[in-house]
């Protein structure tokens, strides 16, 4: 009984501040301290969400943004992971690729937006390309680092037991590098949203960012705020996914 109450407290407390802010915001909008054209009340944001949902507009923008995020993340993540893996394991790959990757890594990928628009136009390809590029480096760095710094003596122990090749990799190297790899994944989920928001806001004809920019033309404050709230929710969602992965894959570390 006592532990149940404690558990409930643990789930409720983190939401306390968001809730107070929301209520305060609503209250001050009601009494007119926050003018409607500066910041619309939560209720009007909510009603515009319902309106856009029933017209199907919201769903199409959200699903387009999510698809871009996911496809870009998978492409960039897989490429980054594979490079990290090969450069971490094979010395020749390390010598061949690492220097080049480190050089590319230091170019802010968002600086490439003008170039990317000229190359790919403002279609899906340009967004996915940018997201993939942004995601690639954090995953690469952390995979590479994780594999390079697996406890050498554990590798020796594995070898003493006759582990080699892929068996050594799956029993020792990959689990040893896993916590570092997941740090990369978590970080790159943040980069994923950031890149997508910027790319969609600057140049797009669909997606959440486009919805916000379009609303600005018509001074629809409630839609703009709705877009921002959506990004916050998706940010939280990717954090939940990252935490879930950590719990599953790093059970031994709890």
Q: Is the dihedral angle over the CA atoms 76, 81, 83, 84 positive or is it negative?
A: positive
248 binds another protein (CB under 8 A): no
Shortest Cβ distance from residue 159 to another protein (Å)?
Answer: 9
Given a contact cutoff of 8 angstroms between Cβ atoms, the answer to whether 233 and 222 are in contact is no
241 binds another protein (CB under 8 A): no
Encoding tokens for residue 241?
């996914």
By C-beta, is 123 or 156 nearer to another protein? 156
245 binds another protein (CB under 8 A): no
Which among 13-21, 157-165, 209-217, 233-241 is the span making contact with another protein, rule CB under 8 A?
Answer: 157-165
Shortest Cβ distance from residue 156 to another protein (Å)?
Answer: 8
Instruction: Give, as ranges, the residues between 163 and 192 that touch another protein (CB under 8 A).
Output: 163, 167, 171-172, 175-176, 178
By C-beta, is 1 or 160 nearer to another protein? 160
Q: Which of 162, 219, 233, 248 binds another protein (CB under 8 A)?
A: 162
253 binds another protein (CB under 8 A): yes
By C-beta, is 218 or 252 nearer to another protein? 252
Which among 69-77, 154-162, 208-216, 229-237 is the span making contact with another protein, rule CB under 8 A?
Answer: 154-162
154 binds another protein (CB under 8 A): yes
Shortest Cβ distance from residue 82 to another protein (Å)?
Answer: 22
Where on the chain is the footprint of another protein (CB under 8 A)? Answer: 153-154, 156-158, 160-163, 167, 171-172, 175-176, 178, 251-253
């Amino acid at each position: 009984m006592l532990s149940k109450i404690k558990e409930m407290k643990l789930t409720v407390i983190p939401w306390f501040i968001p809730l107070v802010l929301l209520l305060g915001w609503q209250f001050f909008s009601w009494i007119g301290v926050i003018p409607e054209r500066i910041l619309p009340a939560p209720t009007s944001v909510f009603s515009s969400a319902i309106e856009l949902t029933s017209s199907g507009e919201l769903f199409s923008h959200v699903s387009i943004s999510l698809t871009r995020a996911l496809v870009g993340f998978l492409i960039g993540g897989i490429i980054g992971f594979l490079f990290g893996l090969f450069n971490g394991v094979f010395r020749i790959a390390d010598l061949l690729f690492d220097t080049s990757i480190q050089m590319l890594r230091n170019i802010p990928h968002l600086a490439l937006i003008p170039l990317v628009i000229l190359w790919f136009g403002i279609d899906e390809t340009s967004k996915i390309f940018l997201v993939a590029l942004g995601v690639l480096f954090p995953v690469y760095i952390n995979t590479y680092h994780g594999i390079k710094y697996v406890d050498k003596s554990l590798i020796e122990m594995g070898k003493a037991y006759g582990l080699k090749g892929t068996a050594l990799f799956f029993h020792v190297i990959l689990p040893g590098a896993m916590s570092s790899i997941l740090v990369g994944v978590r970080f790159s989920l943040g980069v994923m949203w950031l890149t997508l928001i910027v790319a969609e806001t600057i140049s797009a004809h669909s997606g959440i960012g486009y919805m916000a920019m379009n609303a600005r033309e018509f001074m629809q404050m409630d839609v703009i705020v709705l877009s921002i709230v959506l990004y916050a929710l998706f940010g939280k969602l990717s954090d939940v996914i990252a935490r879930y992965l950590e719990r599953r894959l790093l059970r031994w570390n709890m």
